[in-house]
Structures are given as structure tokens and as C-alpha cells.
């Protein structure tokens, strides 16, 4: 069933790994990626690595799944737990974030440099201008009887939903080479 709503979930896991443990950590991550890629709903993974200090590296691992249910199924699976048991011993510390909205708009593929801020700002402006114009012209006049807080809450809800599920996914897809 297609609802037209993007329910993809990106999970970002950050791990700090000692330089002398990096090869073992990377081998374990490759095994986990192979296993995750066979899971229902799995879309992609990116692994970004950068030196943190002279003795540690920072790894950011971004898994994308078609929806929260399938993401959680992988994260709570025995297979994942077993694969990461060794990898976790090589990480100095760990952080996890789930990205489901605007923060994931400009997600980077492995090894890619971040887009210039002006490009991200311009693309966001191109995405927000038409919905703002339509809301102000077509919807706002009908909301005049509502209190200001209710009007702005409703307009903000419309705009955030439009940007998150329609405008930005379309624009990012269309402009990915330009970014």
C-alpha cells in the first residue's frame, strides 16, 4: 500500500575507535553491513570515518530502512547483537540518533564532501517559497477568525509537513548532482 508519505528512517551511530583497533572494527562493521543488507526494508548504509585525535578515529554509520518497524526489527535482532558483540568491545564510546525529518535532508553518501551551505540554503529556499506563497494566498485568509497562536500553529504544521514529505525529498533527488 502506498500512502505517498515518506516513512524512511535513518539511524546514525557514532563510534570512537582506537587507531590500533580500527582494522578489526572495520572488518566487524563490514560483516554487520552484509547481514543488514539482507533484512526486509533495508535501503542503504554509509560509513564515514575521520581522525578524531592522533590515537582515535570517529566512525559515523548511517543505516536507512523503509520504516521504523523494520529498523527496530534489525536493531533488536539476535543476528545484529551477535555481530556487534565483538565490534562494541573495540569502540571507546557510542552515540545513536534516529533521523526521520529535516535533519536527514542533506545526508551524505560515503566519502562525499558536504554541500556548500549556500547551496543547501538556496535549495531550502526553493522548497519553502512555493508552499509559503500558497498557504499565505489560499489558506491564511480563511484562518483570520482563529487566534494568532492557532493560525501560526496550523500554518507551521502545513509547511513543515510539506517540506519534510514532499518538497525536500523531491528537490534533493532532483538536485543531488548539483549539491
**Cα-based angle 116, 119, 124 (whole degrees, multiple of 5):** 130
Q: What is the model's pLDDT at position 135? A: 92
Q: Are 96 and 12 in contact (CB under 8 A)?
A: yes
Q: What is the model's pLDDT at position 142? A: 93
Q: Are residues 15 and 67 in the same domain?
A: yes
Q: What is the model's pLDDT at position 126? A: 92
Strand-by-strand arrangement of the 42-51 sheet = 42-51, 56-65, 9-18, 91-99
Q: Which of 114, 9, 18 is nearest to 59 (CA)?
A: 18
Global pTM?
Answer: 0.52
Give residue 75's domain range: 9-104
Q: Are residues 98 and 121 in the same domain?
A: no
The three cell numbers locating residue 31:
560483516
Q: What is the model's pLDDT at position 114? A: 60
Q: What is the model's pLDDT at position 106? A: 60
Q: What is the model's pLDDT at position 88? A: 80
Query: How big is the chain, counted in residues?
Result: 179
- The answer to whether residue 17 is domain-embedded is yes
Q: Are residues 92 and 166 in the same domain?
A: no
Q: What is the model's pLDDT at position 35? A: 92
DSSP helix/strand/coil, 101: coil
Q: Are residues 159 and 92 in the same domain?
A: no
Measured CA to CA, the distance from residue 61 to residue 149 in angstroms comes to: 40
Q: Are residues 20 and 67 in the same domain?
A: yes
Q: What is the model's pLDDT at position 136? A: 92
Q: Over the Cα atoms of the chain, what is R_g?
A: 20
φ, ψ (nearest 5 deg) of residue 56: -135, 150
Q: What is the model's pLDDT at position 1? A: 43
Name the domain count of the chain: 2
Long-range contacts of range 65-69, CB-CB < 8 Å, 24 or more positions apart? 65/8, 65/9, 65/11, 65/39, 65/41, 66/7, 66/8, 66/9, 66/41, 66/42, 67/7, 67/8, 67/9, 67/41, 68/7, 68/9, 68/100, 69/41
Q: Are residues 148 and 69 in the same domain?
A: no
Q: Are residues 31 and 68 in the same domain?
A: yes
Using the 8-state DSSP alphabet, how is residue 175 labeled? H
Q: Are residues 39 and 100 in the same domain?
A: yes
- The answer to whether residue 109 is domain-embedded is no
Tens digits of pLDDT across the chain (179 residues): 445 566 788 888 888 898 889 999 999 999 999 999 999 999 888 888 888 788 888 888 888 888 889 998 998 999 888 888 878 888 876 655 555 554 556 655 544 556 677 888 888 899 999 999 999 999 999 999 999 999 999 999 899 888 877 888 788 778 877 76
Q: Are residues 63 and 122 in the same domain?
A: no
Q: What is the model's pLDDT at position 99? A: 54
Q: What is the model's pLDDT at position 151? A: 92
Q: Are residues 76 and 147 in the same domain?
A: no
Q: Are residues 37 and 69 in the same domain?
A: yes
- The answer to whether residue 2 is domain-embedded is no
Amino acid at each position: 500500500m502506498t500512502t505517498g508519505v515518506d516513512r524512511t528512517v535513518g539511524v546514525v551511530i557514532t563510534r570512537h575507535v582506537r587507531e590500533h583497533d580500527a582494522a578489526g572494527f572495520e572488518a566487524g562493521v563490514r560483516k554487520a553491513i552484509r547481514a543488514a543488507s539482507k533484512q526486509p526494508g533495508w535501503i542503504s548504509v554509509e560509513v564515514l570515518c575521520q581522525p578524531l585525535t592522533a590515537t582515535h578515529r570517529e566512525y559515523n554509520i548511517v543505516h536507512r530502512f523503509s520504516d521504523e518497524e523494520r529498523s527496530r526489527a534489525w536493531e533488536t535482532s539476535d543476528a545484529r547483537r551477535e555481530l556487534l558483540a565483538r565490534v562494541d568491545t573495540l569502540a571507546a564510546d557510542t552515540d545513536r540518533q534516529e533521523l526521520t525529518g529535516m535533519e536527514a535532508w542533506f545526508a551524505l553518501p560515503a566519502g562525499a564532501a558536504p554541500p556548500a551551505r549556500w547551496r543547501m540554503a538556496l535549495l531550502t529556499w526553493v522548497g519553502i517559497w512555493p508552499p509559503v506563497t500558497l498557504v499565505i494566498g489560499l489558506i491564511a485568509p480563511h484562518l483570520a477568525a482563529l487566534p494568532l497562536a492557532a493560525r501560526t500553529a496550523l500554518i507551521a504544521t502545513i509547511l513543515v509537513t510539506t517540506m519534510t514529505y514532499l518538497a525536500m525529498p523531491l528537490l534533493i533527488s532532483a538536485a543531488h548532482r548539483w549539491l
